[in-house]
Structures are given as C-alpha cells and as structure tokens.
Amino acid sequence: MSKPIVAIVGRANVGKSTLFNKICGKRISIVDDVAGVTRDRIYADAEWCGQEFTLVDTGGLEDKSEDVFQSEIKEQVDMALDNADVIIFLVDGKVGVTNADMSVASMLRKKKLPVVLVANKLDNFDLSNLYDFYSLGLGDPMPISCTQGRGIGDVLDKVTSYFPKDIQKEELNGIKLALVGRPNVGKSSLINRLLGKKRVVVSEVEGTTRDAVTIPFRCNKKDYYLVDTAGLRRQRSVEKESVEGYSVLRSMLAIDEADVVLIVFDASKEITEQDVRIAGYVHEAGKPSVVVVNKWDLKTMDKNKYGEILKDKLSFMSYFVPIYVSALTGKGLSEIMEKVDYVYENASRRITTGVLNDILQDAILNFEPPSKNGQRAKILYATEASTNPPKFVFFCKEPKLINFSYERYLENRLREKVDFAGTPIKLVFKGKEEE
C-alpha cells in the first residue's frame, strides 16, 4: 500500500501554503499575500511521529472571483480530493464563516472522506469565532496559528489517526525529469500529453505555472518523476520578492535536483537570449538534457536550418540532443522518454581506467600538452572520479599550464571515442601530489 495522501483545501488567503510549508519543514509552496497564488496541486513528502504521508497544497476556492483560472483551480482541487485519504479543511479563524467556506464544506461532505476542520490565524487563541464553524457540519474545529506554529501538532495527530495501520513503505527510485523554458512554450501541455490526462493547468496566459509540480508516473515499466516549472523570464524583469521571483528560484532548484532536464523551445518563435541563458544554466549545473523544440506543427523553417541555428546558439553545449515535437498534435512525443533514457545512460556511463588512459595517450601523441617558458605540462594518467555528470581527473606535472583550448581538445577526443551525447562532462587537472 502506498503512502496516505493528505490534501489541504480552503478558500484563498487562509494560509494553506503556510501550513503546507510548516508541516513539510521547508519552503516548498509559495506564500504570498496575493490571493490565488497556488494554482496547481503541489506535492511533498511529510512525516509525523514515524508515519509518512504525501501532502498536497491546492489552489484557493472562491464563490465569485475575477481570477480567470478559478475554473481550472476547482478542477485541480477535485482531482486532488479524488486521490486523497484525508482532507484538511482550512478556514480563517479571525474572519469567521464565509459563503465560500459554506460552498467548500458542501463539496467536502459529498466526498465522504475524513475531514479535519482547522481554523487558522488564531494567534492569541481567541476562540470566540470558533463555534460558528460548527455550522459547516464537519465536526469540531481545531484552532491553530501557522505563523506561530501553535496547534499544528494536534492537527497532525488527528490527521494520522485516520491512516490505515498496515501501511507499507513504497520505494520509487526513478529518474527525476524537470521541464524548463520561457513562459508559454508549452511545458504544461507536454506534461499533459506525456501523462495522457490533464494534470497541470494549461493556459495561453504567460506565467500560468508558478510552482514546480512533481508528478510520479511510469513509462515502459520504469519509474519517473515529472517536474513542471514556472516559465523563466529575464532576471532583470523579475522582482526577487515577487511571486514570479520565487517561481524562478523554484525552477532553478528543480534544475539542480533533476536527473535529466527537458529544455523546451518554441518553434514558432525565434530563439531568444533567454532561451540560451536557460540552456546555459542547465549546462553549468552539469545536468544531462534534451532540447525539446515544441510547436513544430507551427514551424517557420525546415529542420536542418533550425538545427544549424541551434548549433550556433548553443555552441557552448555542442553535445545537445534535439527532438522536434508538437504537444498539440502529439507528433514526436513517443521519442521523448527514449531520449531521456539515452542521455541519462550516457551521464551514468563509466569508463575503465585502462580504456580512459588509452584514449588519453592517443590524444597526447596527436597533440602534446602546452608549454610555457621552457616548462611543459605532462599528463601522467587519468581516472573517472564520478558520474552524473561524468567527471574525469587528470594527474599532471605543471597542471596550471593546461589551458582552455587543450581542455576542450581532450573533451572532444573523449566524445569521439565514447558516447556522451546529451550530457556535459567535467575535466579536472591536478598535480601528482594532490592524488
């Protein structure tokens, strides 16, 4: 049996994301004073008194809202509730019962799931408004203060009391796959296509995805985790303390934690400076990647010409692996996971010390290491220190004489002999005494 799922629901701006972060013990969901910040379902693993569970933060539900995403939010909340084992219904203890609370309560009663009614923002534990919440028909309201952390333990005691007693821990050791790109290049549409269902909010409005959403799935009997991230805009146009600023940070963290990154381009538009900057961050992070050219059904040039432009723009990562797809029509999508497995296998590749040094000696015979002022660098031998990405350590005499040009030469010779397509490789030069 998999871990129980606990969904936090309620109207907007009652503190759901703050409670989510408090329970998880770290900042995962965005917290902001602006209502409607959380739109998709945000998942995270949590634990209380030895009992593990999956916590889900959902978008705020409102009766009357000008938010164009409200219908999408409600659809996402419904999906979260369909998969939940226990529901935390969060209300505002200061404001009291609202029409939106009554609507949410009516929806929850129909689900026939255990509901823990929680009244937040009771910093002084003034319980004068607490009794009004009995009118929701969901049992005893539990007072908490998310900002002070008071009462949350009691809530978790109540939540975990509904868990089955025969839970078996489920181990999922799959490839974590992050999708990154500028806003509105079709990342969420690609995820929905890959999963075969509408899992994340899709809209033509830029910036729809604000949080990084992690979704476990299986393909060809293998486990994967898809991470949909907020679109990355030019840094100077993003205020660090704004919601979008946090989204950019979350996207960067998603790249850092990923095993493979899908860098999504929009074939209907020119490759921009920001497209290149995003690819550069993935490269600097040392992540294997697949360049996914989406919206190929709207292409404005042939594949060869577009490929030449990609080579020019991404010259710093000549190892890139491109794929041309259309999330709208589904064309080319079946190849994405094949490419993911391919570049991950290359990033995990190990070369024996004997084979590596044969390649090294052959490279040195063709082009000796550089010299300066009568001194010449001499590479004694090399070894592969780690994988993901592959890291090679070269032990030398006068390692400081190894310049960028010779380093690039050695990298190219390695790539000629061994398939490292789709992954960066790192070369480190050390003095013999540093062995």
pLDDT digit string (tens) for 167-184? 554 454 789 998 888 878
Alpha-carbon dihedral of residues 175, 180, 186, 188, nearest 10 degrees?
50
Helix, strand, or coil here: 49? coil
Coil, helix or strand at residue 106: helix
122 phi and psi angles, rounded to 5 deg: -95, 65
Whether residues 215 and 244 share a domain: the answer is yes
d(CA 414, CA 392): 10
Q: Tell me how far apart the alpha carbons of residues 22 and 381 are, in angstroms, rounded to a whole number.
A: 51
Nearest CA among 428, 389, 405, 417 for reference residue 287: 389
Q: Is residue 131 part of a domain?
A: yes
Model confidence at 197, in pLDDT bands (50, 70, 90)? low
Q: In terms of domains, do 187 and 306 share one? A: yes
The residues near 344 (Cβ < 8 Å, ≥ 6 apart) are 175, 259, 260, 288
- Specify whether 407 is located in the same domain as 332: no
Residue 376 CA: distances (Å) to CA of 193, 393, 410, 429 = 56, 19, 16, 14
CB-CB contact of 16 with 60 (8 Å): yes
Give me the pLDDT at residue 205, please. Answer: 40
Do 281 and 342 fall within a single domain?
A: yes
pLDDT at 77: 77
Domain count, the chain: 3
User: For 190-236, where are the E strands, in sequence order?
Assistant: 213-219, 222-228
What percentage of the chain has pLDDT greater than the value 90?
A: 46
- Report long-range pairs for 78-84 (Cβ below 8 Å, ≥24 apart): 79/41, 79/199, 80/7, 80/9, 80/41, 80/56, 81/7, 81/9, 81/107, 81/108, 81/111, 81/113, 83/5, 83/7, 83/56, 84/5, 84/6, 84/7, 84/56, 84/113
Q: Which of 34-48, 263-277, 297-311 has the lowest mean pLDDT?
A: 34-48
Distance of alpha carbon 94 from alpha carbon 14, whole angstroms = 10
Q: Is the pLDDT of residue 200 over 60?
A: no
Contacts of 315 (CB under 8 A, 6+ apart): none
Q: According to the model, what pLDDT value does residue 36 have? A: 40
Is there a single domain that holds both residue 330 and residue 186?
Answer: yes
Residue 166 lies in a domain: no
At 422, which CATH number? 3.30.300.20
Strand partners, 18: none
Q: What is the band of 412 on the pLDDT scale with cuts at 50, 70, 90?
A: very high
Domain boundary among 160, 195, 220: 160
Residue 167 belongs to a domain: no
Q: Are residues 247 and 381 in the same domain?
A: no
Which pLDDT value is given to residue 347?
97
As a whole number, mean pLDDT of residues 418-431 equals 96
* Whether residue 204 sits in one domain with residue 132: no
Phi, psi of 111, rounded to the nearest 5 degrees:
-75, -25
Q: Quote the pLDDT of residue 70.
A: 57
pLDDT bucket at 57, cuts 50 / 70 / 90: confident
143-148 own/partner pairs: CB under 8 Å, 24+ apart = 143/93, 143/119, 144/19, 144/118, 144/119, 144/120, 145/120, 145/121, 146/15, 146/18, 146/19, 146/22, 146/120, 146/121, 147/18, 147/121, 147/123, 148/123
CA distances from 357 to 362, 383, 387, 415, 416 (A): 8, 8, 17, 14, 14
Nearest to 186 by CA among 248, 250, 262: 262
16 close to 10: Cβ distance less than 8 angstroms: yes
CATH of the domain at 224: 3.40.50.300
Same domain, 194 and 340: yes
Is residue 72 predicted with pLDDT exceeding 80? no
For residue 308, CA distances in Å to 220, 273, 303, 312 come to: 33, 16, 9, 6
Domain range spanning residue 20? 5-160
Q: Domain ends where: 347, 373, 402?
A: 347
In this predicted structure, the answer to whether residue 58 has a pLDDT above a threshold of 50 is yes
| pLDDT above 80 (res 204) | no
Decide if pLDDT at 74 tops 50: yes
Of 269, 270, 181, 268, nearest to 228 by C-alpha is 181
DSSP run (H or E) holding 160: helix 152-160
Tell me the per-residue pLDDT of 210-241, one tens digit each, with 9 for 90 and over. Answer: 344 567 778 888 888 877 554 433 444 444 33
| Last residue of one domain, picked from the residues 291, 318, 347 | 347
The pLDDT assigned to 166 comes to 62
Q: Which residues pair with 92 in a beta bridge?
A: 120
Question: Is pLDDT at 265 greater than 50 in this prediction?
Answer: yes
Hey, which residues does 25 pair with through a beta bridge? none
Residue 233 belongs to a domain = yes
The pair of three-digit structure tokens given for residue 70, joined into one six-digit string:
């409200």
> H helices then E strands: how many in the chain?
11, 17
Q: Could you tell me if residue 213 is inside a domain?
A: yes
How confident is residue 404, by pLDDT bands cut at 50, 70 and 90? very high
Q: Is the pLDDT of residue 268 over 70?
A: yes
Given the structure tokens 């871990």, which residue do they identify? 3
β-bridge mates for residue 372, sequence order: 375
Query: With bands split at pLDDT 50, 70 and 90, how would you rate the model's confidence at 65?
Result: low
Tens digit of each residue's pLDDT (9 = 90 or more) over 104-156 = 999 899 888 999 999 999 988 777 778 899 999 999 999 999 989 899 999 99
How wide is the angle at C-alpha 425 spanned by C-alphas 421 and 431, nearest 5°? 150
| One domain for residues 323 and 397 | no
Q: Confirm whether pTM is higher than 0.75.
A: no
Q: Higher-confidence residue: 17 or 1?
A: 17
Q: Are 151 and 36 members of one domain?
A: yes
Q: What is the average per-residue pLDDT within 12-22?
A: 88
Do 331 and 408 lie in one domain? The reply is no
Q: Residue 116: which of 148, 67, 180, 162 has the closest Cα? A: 162
Q: With respect to residue 192, please indicate whether it lies within any of the assigned structural domains.
A: yes
pLDDT confidence tier of residue 73, bands split at 50, 70 and 90: low
| Residue 170 domain-assigned (yes or no) | no
Is 46 a residue whose pLDDT tops 50? yes
Residue 28 lies in a domain: yes
Q: For residues 395 and 379, what is the distance between their CA atoms, to the nearest angstrom?
A: 6
In degrees, to the nearest 5, what angle opens at C-alpha 345 toward C-alphas 411 and 257? Answer: 90
In angstroms, the Cα distances linking 97 to 11, 46, 49, 146, 340 are: 11, 29, 32, 19, 49
Do 112 and 225 have their domain in common?
no
- pLDDT surpassing 70 at residue 251: no
